[in-house]
Chains A and B, each alone.
Chain A
Amino acid sequence: MAIMRRTIALSLLPLAVIVIGMSLSGTAAAQGELRFCLRSEPKTFDPLKVEDDASMAIRYLTGGVLVRLNRQTQVLEPELAQSWKVSKDGRQITFKLRSGVSFSDGTPFSAEDVAYTVQQLMDPALHSATGDAFRSGPGNVETKIISPTQITITFPALVAGLDRQFDQVAILSAHSTRKEMAVLGPFMVADYKPGSMVMLSRNPNYWRTDAQGRRLPYLDSIRLDIQPNRDVEMLRFKRGEINLINSLDSEYFDKLAATSPQFVHDAGPSLDSEQMWFNEVSRAPLPQYKKNWFRSATFRHAISEAINREDLSRVVFRGHAQPAVGPVSPANKFWFNSKLQPEAYSPDTALKALQDDGFRLENGTLKDKDGNEVVFSIITNSGNKSRERMATMIQEDLQKIGIHVNVVTLDFPSLIERMTQSFDYEAILLGLTNVGLDPSEQMNVWLSSSENHQWNPSEKAPETAWEAEIDRLMRAQAASADAKKRKESFDRVQEIAVEQAPFIYLVNRNALSAVSASVHGASPVILVPQTYWNVDQLTVK
């Protein structure tokens, strides 16, 4: 009997070893389902066509990239590429790829897939916003497969921050029949109910393992509920139906902090800014005297000085914002020009500067040298309470120096039509969402010929000397592969932007988020996606 027991025990031993071995080196034990909300319907699952936030979130969760910007350290790290090298002229990049990696459907990954992805990305017919970042000059992109694990990509002209741009390029399979649904990221799309939810399941072939050799991700699935209403999102978080809120308003943040301070995270100033600008378009349907005000740097500076940014940060954002300094948030550690300081609030200095420029204060009303009362309107998008409050506070601030401001809220399409087509506006207050860190991503704002050069779009030639200088500096930084030289050029751009004040930067909002106690491993940061940037290492219990 004892022999028999020993025989059974011995015969079970290999099975036990297999089971233990599986748990140590194979897949991790089930670690739950993460749930959060997308605020709009994803417009596409094709990672090369992504433009909207919801699709961007899905791309981040499912797409495998060659290199990844670590959202915490802001340093570029290897992913599917073990190493890479950018040529001195900044036109060519060579990747050494990982071997033994497969797509979610089992198709092996090789340099051929990278070449295929780049060719698809740069196809003009695709109109890819991601691809536009690589388009720096006329000509074709060439890909040269050196071996299954090595590839060289050559661009027709220098691409500024070339390696960082690949953070946004999810690699597609050249051979899979599942097309963009075959992925290299930690999760894959398992189900999609339009208007309701997107279900992602764990990619069994994801290449990354943890320090103990267990295959990541830990989570079994992610449920993304499509929920545009932020009140409902907040309620669902409070009820425990969702695990995190990626971007919180300061009002909701404080309410949640009052009851559950352990759930909320303020990661400090984000890359996003709130700003206003005056219409400087020469063909705008405005009286000439108003155009003269708006095109005067003295006038713009005086307005900037008369705005109490500390109050905006403290009252509108309840202290979860910082007075803005210039075009780059201090959160952008490398590119921020640390010599710059926020504009000091000084209505007296502002008034004096205006009076020196020919304006005069009569019975509490400011008038220009021709006797025109200084009155202008600020437009902002209706429904955005923070901006409406900021505009109302600016209205009162400027009243102190005799300037009468009319606050107008318009629906977004009407506002955009005035801003880009009819140019029938005086000042606009809007925000800028910065996703990337590199200044090249702001080329479309700073180049005077650009359609997004908001204060005076599509100039045939720079209309002012300082705009010409910004054009030169932006092109110089984009044409250089030397980070130090690029920084010098962009520092000067920031200085000119502050001196000339085409944009009056108001505040940098803090990156606010909420993560429930059931989520382990989360460490919210300022860069998008703030809460789930390390999604492959999160667990939910």
Chain B
Amino acid sequence: MNIWRVVACAVLLLVVSLSLAANWLAPAGYAKQYREAADSAPSRQHWLGTDDIGRDRFARVLYGTRISLLLAPAAAFLSTLMAALIGGMAGYLGGSWARGAMALTDLCLSLPWLFLLITVRALMPLNASPMVSVLATFLILGMLGWTSAARVLCASAGSLRDSDFVRQARALGIRGSRLFWVHVLPNLKPVLYAQFWISIPAFILAEANLGILGLGVAEPMPSWGSLLRELEGLVSVGEEPWKFVPLVLLVVVVTSFQFVLSRQEELAA
């Protein structure tokens, strides 16, 4: 394992640990409004200053990191699972099954997903609590994000279908689901892992994009997306550099994921 990968793992571990320790590290809850100190610069009381309505930015970064970092992998797991079932099965069965599944995948890929997300978000019950809205946002992301992975898995499963060991298994009389679960799926694991790791930064960014549109996680709960909205209208980096902390964190985490990911891709190859 090269040094960068070790550093990336360490960074991810540190960020996750800090976010999990938010209850102890943060000086206040993420929703507490210090209205007399709204939009203030970093101070001893507020290490990263406060946001527009006086909420401690450091607390919001910690809690927001927790939400984005814990739920993005959950969404990635869901989308990879769906990709495995749809793409893996289609590749394994081949023929019209594969063509049908890939047509469905192409159709889903061609959908304007942003508008779809906005529409789905608009149809959600209004009185959903912030936590439910967080879960729903990532659930929707997970359910819509399986398409690219499904294409890769379909191709991989297709190549496995005609491999020697599968032919041998068939010759021994192994058929149907047993063949899929025992012989095909375990051999898809490296591809599945790679797809899982690829999806995590994609979902973090997707949630951030939704947050920038004001359609992500509901107030007062923070997420990286909602924190990044503070950068709207900021004219120069030097003006209020502490507001860039969520962006820096996002870049660092996504980059770290990429380093870890390259290892997964090597394993998959």
Residues of chain A touching chain B, judged by Cβ–Cβ distance below 8 Å, are 230-231, 234-235, 238, 251-252, 255, 311, 314-316, 375-377, 379, 382-385, 388-389, 391-393, 395-396, 406-411, 414, 424-426
Contact = CB atoms under 8 A, between A and B. Distances in A.
Interface size class of B (residues with CB under 8 A): 20 to 34
B218 A407 contact: yes
Given A375-B127, A408-B126, A393 B215 contact: no
Given A382-B213, A388-B214, 19 more contacts: A251-B233, A315-B35, A376-B127, A377-B127, A383-B214, A384-B214, A388-B219, A392-B53, A393-B53, A395-B219, A395-B220, A406-B126, A406-B129, A407-B218, A408-B218, A409-B219, A410-B121, A410-B122, A414-B119
Contacts of B118: 411, 414
B122 A414 contact: yes
A154 to B, nearest CB: 49
- What 7 A-B pairs have minimum CB-CB distances, sorted nearest first? A382-B214, A414-B122, A377-B126, A407-B219, A409-B214, A392-B219, A315-B38
Which secondary structure dominates where chain A touches chain B? helix
A203 to B, nearest CB: 37
Contact of B215 (A382, A389, A424): A382
A406 B136 CA distance: 15
B183 interface: no
Nearest to A408: B126
Contacts of A408: 126, 218
A425 B214 contact: no
B265 interface: no
A311 B229 CA distance: 22
Nearest to A377: B126
A315 B37 CA distance: 9
Contacts of A382: 213-215
Contacts of A384: 214
A311 B34 CA distance: 11
B233 A231 contact: yes
Nearest to B213: A382
B130 interface: yes
Nearest to A315: B38
A385 B218 contact: no
Given A252-B233, A389-B52, A425 B35 contact: no
B235 interface: yes
A367 to B, nearest CB: 16
A396 B127 contact: no
Contacts of A388: 214, 219
Contacts of B38: 315
Which secondary structure dominates where chain B touches chain A? loop
B214 A393 contact: no
A379 B218 CA distance: 11
Interface in B43-94: 52-54
B33 interface: yes
A511 B39 CA distance: 22
B215 A409 contact: yes
Contacts of B128: 406
A92 B224 CA distance: 62
B53 A389 contact: yes
B126 A230 contact: no
Nearest to B239: A255
Contact of B219 (A251, A316, A391): A391
Contacts of A395: 219-220
A401 to B, nearest CB: 16
A410 B117 CA distance: 12
Nearest to B33: A396
Contacts of B219: 388, 391-392, 395, 407, 409
A359 to B, nearest CB: 18
Contacts of A234: 233, 235
28 contacts: A230-B233, A231-B232, A252-B233, A255-B235, A315-B38, A315-B53, A315-B54, A379-B126, A382-B213, A382-B214, A384-B214, A388-B214, A388-B219, A389-B52, A391-B219, A393-B33, A393-B35, A395-B220, A406-B130, A406-B218, A407-B218, A407-B219, A408-B126, A409-B215, A409-B218, A409-B219, A414-B118, A424-B126
A448 B53 CA distance: 37
A396 B33 CA distance: 8
Most chain A CB within 10 A, of B118, B214, B235, is at: B214
Contacts of A425: 126
Nearest to A238: B235
A264 B132 CA distance: 44
Most chain B CB within 10 A, of A238, A396, A425, is at: A396
A414 B122 CA distance: 6
Nearest to A390: B53
A423 B141 CA distance: 28
B174 interface: no
Contacts of A389: 52-53
Interface in B222-251: 229, 232-233, 235
A389 to B, nearest CB: 5
B31 interface: yes
Contact of A315 (B52, B130, B213): B52
A426 B52 contact: no
B214 A316 contact: no
Nearest to A252: B233
Contacts of A385: 52, 229, 232
A396 B31 contact: yes
Contacts of B54: 315
Contacts of A311: 35
Contacts of B119: 414
A376 to B, nearest CB: 7
A411 B215 contact: yes
A132 to B, nearest CB: 31
B235 A235 contact: yes
Contacts of B52: 251, 315-316, 385, 389
A78 B214 CA distance: 47
Most chain B CB within 10 A, of A230, A238, A382, is at: A382
Nearest to B38: A315
Nearest to A393: B53
A379 B215 CA distance: 12
Nearest to B123: A414
A316 B118 CA distance: 26
A407 B38 CA distance: 20
Interface string B84-121: 00000000000000000000000000000000001101
A410 B214 CA distance: 8
A100 to B, nearest CB: 50
A460 to B, nearest CB: 27
B118 to A, nearest CB: 5
Nearest to B52: A389
Nearest to B125: A377
Given A231-B233, A411-B122, A406 B127 contact: yes
